[in-house]
Amino acid sequence: MSDDHSGEHFSQHVKRYLFVFYALLFGTLITVGASYIPFGHRAVNIGVALLIASAKAFLVGGYFMHLISERKMIYGIMAFTAFFFIGLMFLTIWSFADFPPLATQH
């Protein structure tokens, strides 16, 4: 985060926070609305919902948690975390091959 702690500087920040807040509220309503739209396959609905959730997560992480302008050290920690998190998800997906034929995606 910036080292400039002047009141004017933070007033600008506050405007940005409010914009993010409204975007998050809007995103929540869009998520609920999209869940009622039959996209043809449930997998598409899941994809759309996760896409919106990811956009909201970016706003929270980027602006409320200031990840958009952080120190290299924090980015380093996050890069390690992202690597292991993505690895965990890939392991989960690869394990689908071990499911019996009875199981199907919902």
Partner 1 sequence: MDIPYTVQPRPDTGLYNAKVGIWLFLASEVMLFGALFSSYILLRVGAVEGYWPHGWLNIPIGTANTLVLITSSITTVMAWASLKMNQFGRFKFYHACTILFAMTFVGIKSYEYHDKFTHYSIKLANGKIADGHLVEKSKDFNLEKKTGEMVIHGHEVNFAEATGEKLQEELKSIYDIRSPEGRKAKHSELRYNASQIASMETYGPWHNTYTAIYFTLTGLHALHVIGGALVIGFLWSFGGKMWKTDPERFTNRIEISGLFWHFVDLVWIFLFPVLYLL
Residues of this chain that interact with partner 1 (CB under 8 A) are 5, 7, 10-11, 13-14, 17-18, 20-21, 24-25, 28-29, 31-32, 35, 42, 45-46, 49-50, 52-53, 56-57, 60-61, 64-65, 71-74, 77-78, 80-81, 84-85, 88-89, 91-93, 95-96, 99, 102-106
Residue count of the chain, please give it: 106
Q: Closest CB to partner 1 among 5 and 40? A: 5
Pick between residue 40 and residue 96 the one whose CB is nearest to partner 1: 96
Encoded tokens for 83:
């690597």
Work out the burial of residue 23: count CB atoms within 10 Å of its CB; fewer than 13 is exposed, 13-18 middle, 19 or more buried: middle
Measured between alpha carbons, how far is 68 from 95 in angstroms, rounded to an integer?
34
